[in-house]
Each structure stands twice: as structure tokens, then as C-alpha cells.
């Protein structure tokens, strides 16, 4: 049997794929709501390539998180090191990684690549044991935030974490949260889901000194799972694609809004963002679908968002 010849690395076709690579650290989510599933589909939708490092696994359904099982920090480090020695990475994206030990391992990796932007997303951890949540938050502020370029989080989540002793009559602003994050070294903070009158929410990108942009959206009636991972992954991919930060935030929020608008409920619980909404045929195209040859070929770039 004749062996196939090795690939020609000088072939122009080798450059046809995504040019930006994002290393994501996150847990597996068997429901497909968030975690690595959200990272992979959101990053691919932006036209970039995800390098997923699995840090653990959720036990959950579409209604709630029941438990989480973290990987050993050595397993996380070995996964990442193997890829970092092979593929040039443009951005790190860190979701929920399950333990202070994993945060420490990721922070050490990030410090070795200090010139790369790092997007950190802090999810709502109210489902977890209080002592474990406190340990995780403390490790994140001490180890990960000093390496973070953009911190992403829901207004209520960031307030409980970064300003637990807030006691003034007025609630904290996005600027207050950005200043609190900056005390640990974070230059940019994206605060999402700030409540506004008339069923609207605000999403604000801040430095400690100023509001850089603000995007208001009408609040959806449905309860979603996976929105934060979707937004932060899309933002990381856009940054990796050399999109200026303010523009990247606007595009990522617009993408999330479309994902939520086209959300679906695969089970009996919450609605999930449809991160591949752009790939579905239009209604007037479905009538012609049965006429397509089952062996049709898709153009290499036809599904890129």
C-alpha cells in the first residue's frame, strides 16, 4: 500500500483558515448552555479558532448547576503547555475553572505570555458552597486579575464580589466597579445587565477614569443560561482579530443580542442562546431544501460569521 505524501506546507490553501487563535480555559457543560460549548461556537461564529483547555466538568441540566468537578491543575497546565509550544495564541479567555489551584496554574501560564490580552469572565456562583465561592473569588483577585486585560461580568455578580461592603444609599455605578477591579490591576471592565427603567438593561465598558461606551438593550422576558460565556468568548475572538476594544465590545454585544433573540429551549429548563443563528436557512429557503442534492458541498468560508 502506498503511503500518502506529506502535506505541502507552502500550499496557499494552508492560509485559508481562521487567522486568530484563542486559548480558552473553561469547564465542560453537558447541557451546551455555557462553558466550553459556548466558547467553541461563539469563537467560530466570529471567524476565529478556539483552543479549548478543559478545566473540569459541570453536573447540570438546563435549569440549574448541580455540582462541578475540577480537573487537577497539572492536567490543566499540561493541556495548555502542549498547545502553546505548537500554535501561536493571540488571546487568553478564562471562564469558570473550578478551583484556586487551577486559577494559580492559569495565572502562571499567563505571566509567561504577559504580552497577550486576557479576557476573564466571572459567572454567578450562587449555586456553589459559600466557602468555596469565597476561596475562588479570593484566588481570582489575588492571582488572575493582575493578569487580566478585560474583566467581564454581570452587574449583580461583580457588585457582590468586588464591593461586598458597599453601604451608600445609591447603588454602585459601572465606574465604581471598574475602580474596584483596577485595585487588582484590571485596566478595563465590562459590566453587563445593569437595570434601567422600562425593561431595559445597560452594558458599560469602563476604565477607572471614564466610561468608554454604553449599549442599552431591551430586556428579554425569558431566563437564559450561557449568555456571559457567549459574550466573553465573542469579545475575546474579536480582540484576537485586531478589532479595537470599544468596537469589539459593541460587536460582541450585538452578536449576543441576536443569539438571545433566536434563543431556544431544548429541555424543560432555561432558554439557551442560539450562537449559530446565522447558519440557519431563511424561512423562504426551507421550502427548497428538499430539492438540494444530499451530497452538496459547502464553500470553506460559507459558514463564517
Burial 234-263 (b: 16+ CB within 10 A, else e): bbbbbbbbebebeebbbbbbebbbbbbeeb
**How many Cα atoms occupy the beta-carbon half-sphere of 214 within 13 Å?**
12
The pLDDT assigned to 19 comes to 85
DSSP string, 46-87: HT-EEEEEEEEEEEE-SS-EEEEEEPPHHHHHHHHHHHHTTS
Give the total number of structural domains in the chain: 1
Q: Is pLDDT of 180 > 80?
A: yes
pLDDT at 15: 60
Residue 88 lies in a domain: yes
H runs (alpha helix) in the chain: 35-46, 73-84, 100-112, 130-139, 155-162, 174-182, 227-240, 245-261, 283-286
Q: What are the phi and psi torsion angles at 173 (to 5°)?
A: -90, 175
Contact 185, 118 (CB under 8 A): no
The whole-chain average pLDDT of the chain stands at 90
Q: Give the pLDDT confidence score for residue 14 in this predicted structure.
A: 52
Dump pLDDT digits (tens) for 183-220. 999 999 999 999 999 999 999 999 999 999 999 999 99
**What are the tens digits of pLDDT across the range 237-291?**
999 999 999 999 999 999 999 999 999 999 999 999 999 999 988 766 555 544 4
276 assigned to some structural domain: no
By residue range, what is the domain housing residue 89?
21-262
Note whether residue 269 is domain-resident. no
Q: What was the pLDDT predicted at 18? A: 75
The 10s digit of each residue's pLDDT in 33-59 is 999 999 999 999 999 999 999 999 999
Average pLDDT over residues 162-181: 96
Residue 140 belongs to some domain of the structure: yes
Count CB neighbours of 30 within 10 A.
12
Higher pLDDT pick, 11 / 242: 242
pLDDT band at 134 (very low <50, low <70, confident <90, very high): very high
257 found inside a domain: yes
Classify the C-alpha dihedral 21-24-29-34 as positive or negative: negative
Asked if the structure places residue 123 within a domain, the reply is yes
Q: Does residue 302 form part of some domain?
A: no
CA atoms of 38 and 269, how far apart (whole Å): 17
Reply yes or no on whether the pLDDT at 300 is more than 70. Answer: no
The domain that holds 75 is classified in CATH as 3.40.1190.20
Residues 62-118: tens digit of each pLDDT: 999 999 999 999 999 999 999 999 999 999 999 999 999 999 999 999 999 999 999
pLDDT at 282 (0 to 100) = 77
How confident is the model over 213-225, as pLDDT tens digits?
Answer: 999 999 999 999 9
Whether 89 is covered by a domain: the verdict is yes
Please give the pLDDT value at position 281: 86
Amino acid at each position: 500500500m502506498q503511503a500518502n505524501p506529506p502535506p505541502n506546507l507552502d500550499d496557499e490553501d494552508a492560509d485559508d483558515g481562521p487567522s486568530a487563535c484563542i486559548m480558552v480555559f473553561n469547564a465542560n457543560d453537558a447541557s451546551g448552555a455555557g462553558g466550553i460549548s459556548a466558547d467553541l461556537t461563539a469563537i467560530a461564529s466570529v471567524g476565529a479558532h478556539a483552543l479549548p483547555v478543559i478545566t473540569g466538568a459541570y453536573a447540570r441540566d438546563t435549569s440549574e448547576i448541580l455540582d462541578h468537578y475540577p480537573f487537577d491543575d497539572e492536567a490543566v497546565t499540561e493541556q495548555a503547555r502542549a498547545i502553546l509550544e505548537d500554535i501561536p495564541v493571540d488571546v487568553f479567555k478564562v471562564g469558570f475553572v473550578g478551583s484556586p489551584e487551577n486559577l494559580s496554574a492559569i495565572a502562571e501560564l499567563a505571566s509567561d505570555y504577559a504580552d497577550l490580552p486576557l479576557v476573564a469572565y466571572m459567572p454567578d456562583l450562587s449555586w456553589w458552597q459559600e466557602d468555596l465561592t469565597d476561596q475562588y473569588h479570593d484566588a481570582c483577585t489575588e492571582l488572575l486579575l493582575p493578569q487580566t486585560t478585560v474583566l467581564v461580568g454581570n452587574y449583580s455578580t461583580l457588585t457582590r464580589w468586588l464591593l461586598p461592603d458597599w453601604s451608600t444609599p445609591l447603588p454602585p455605578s459601572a465606574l465604581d466597579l471598574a475602580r474596584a477591579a483596577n485595585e487588582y490591576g484590571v485596566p478595563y471592565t465590562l459590566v453587563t445587565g445593569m437595570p434601567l427603567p422600562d425593561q431595559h438593561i445597560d452594558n458599560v465598558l469602563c476604565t477607572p477614569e471614564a466610561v468608554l461606551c454604553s449599549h442599552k438593550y431591551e430586556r428579554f422576558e425569558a431566563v437564559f443560561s450561557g449568555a456571559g460565556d457567549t459574550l466573553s468568548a465573542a469579545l475575546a475572538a474579536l480582540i484576537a482579530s485586531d478589532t479595537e476594544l470599544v468596537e469589539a465590545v459593541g460587536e460582541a454585544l450585538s452578536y449576543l443580542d441576536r443569539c438571545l433573540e433566536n434563543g431556544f429551549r431544548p429541555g424543560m429548563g432555561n432558554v439557551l442562546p442560539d450562537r449559530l443563528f446565522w447558519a440557519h436557512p431563511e424561512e423562504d429557503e426551507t421550502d427548497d431544501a428538499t430539492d438540494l442534492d444530499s451530497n452538496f458541498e459547502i464553500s470553506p468560508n460559507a459558514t463564517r460569521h
